[in-house]
Amino acid sequence: MIRAAKEWPERLLRYQEQEKILSGRNSYSKTDHDATFMRMKEDGLNNREFKPGYNLEIATNNQIIVSYGVFPNPTDSKTLPDMIRGIQEEYGKSPDYLIADAGYGSEENFTFLRNAGIEAVVKYNMYERLRRRKPLKRPFTTETLHYNSKEGYVVCPMGQRMELCRTGTRISKGGYEREVGYYKAKNCDSCPLQGVCNGESGDRIVEVSREWREQRSAVDELLETDFGRKLYARRKIDVEPVFGNIKHNKGIRRFTLRGKKGVMTEIGLVATAHNLRKMIISILAPKAPSYA
């Protein structure tokens, strides 16, 4: 006990220094303090192990890398604002459209894109599941319930209205505030679907963000048009081949430098080489004959 008391001030200083290095992350590498432990998709033994790394983000146009960034957080949803700001600073304007997969589809990102005047061609994480013909494993989650934004109520699985009982505010880890409403059902204890819908005694209460539901409806409406489908289809032939070329064709699967500054320099050289190759090929490749 006496030894522990003597070591306490030293340990406290060490913990404070570690907290400073973490900067809100849940881990860091002792050999590279800027790197975060992430679950890698593959390694030499085909294991999904936790290893120190960075989340590489690129923005492309016709398979040309127009911007890039490396981030310490493993999820894509928190990187989009910084990527857009980088494009705005570099080119002095914002893109008309942003096409991205469901990993970027969040209320915070949709709000940011709307305020920046950018049309979001981005799916949200439940987009494909809600459109499957096969039944969902959990068919009565909040996301599947119909929300009437005009009159402000939610429809329960039995077709009854769930009225607004109170409102509140949710604050994300990044500081984004979202207004939510809580809608309460009636007579759940006597409902035949109570076991699979609520699972608890008492009337069910669900949390709904009006802003999020309206954003989802806008995405649904856009992606159901021919124009929206054509725009979203470009993601498969624009950014994905760039990652495939860098990782599989060129064999660049890991960074050789340490620290964010060194990694940014390294990916900058990779992006420059990729763009030069694409431009040289477009100049030297024979053009298709015109039949106009």
- ∠ CA 138-144-149, nearest 5°, is 160
Q: How far apart are CA 139 and CA 157, in angstroms?
A: 9
Predicted local confidence at residue 93, as pLDDT: 92
Residue ranges of domains in the chain: 1-125+224-292, 139-210
| Stretch 213-222: mean pLDDT | 93
pLDDT at position 2 is 59
Taking the CB of residue 136, how many other CB atoms lie within 10 A of it? 13
pLDDT band at 179 (very low <50, low <70, confident <90, very high): very high
Three-class SS state of 31: coil
- Pairwise CA distance, residues 122 & 217, whole Å: 12
Query: 7 in helix, strand or coil?
Result: helix
The pLDDT, as a whole number, for residue 110 is 96
What average pLDDT score do residues 272-291 get? 79
pLDDT tens across 98-152, in order? 999 999 999 999 999 999 999 999 999 889 888 876 677 888 899 889 999 889 9
Beta strand 119-122 with 97-100 is: parallel
pLDDT (0 to 100) of residue 12: 82
Q: How far is CA 186 from CA 165, 180, 191, in A?
A: 12, 20, 9
pLDDT 10s digits, 227-258 = 999 999 998 899 999 999 999 999 998 899 99
pLDDT at 80: 93
Max CA separation in the chain (angstroms): 90
pLDDT of residue 8: 77
Name the pairing type of β-strands 36-39 and 205-208: unpaired
Mean pLDDT of the chain: 88
| Residue 82, pLDDT score | 93
Least confident of 10-14, 137-141, 228-232, 285-289: 285-289
pLDDT at 175 > cutoff 90: no
Q: What is the pLDDT of residue 292?
A: 37
pLDDT digits (tens, 9 = 90+) for 49-98: 788 999 999 999 999 999 999 998 888 888 999 999 999 999 999 999 99
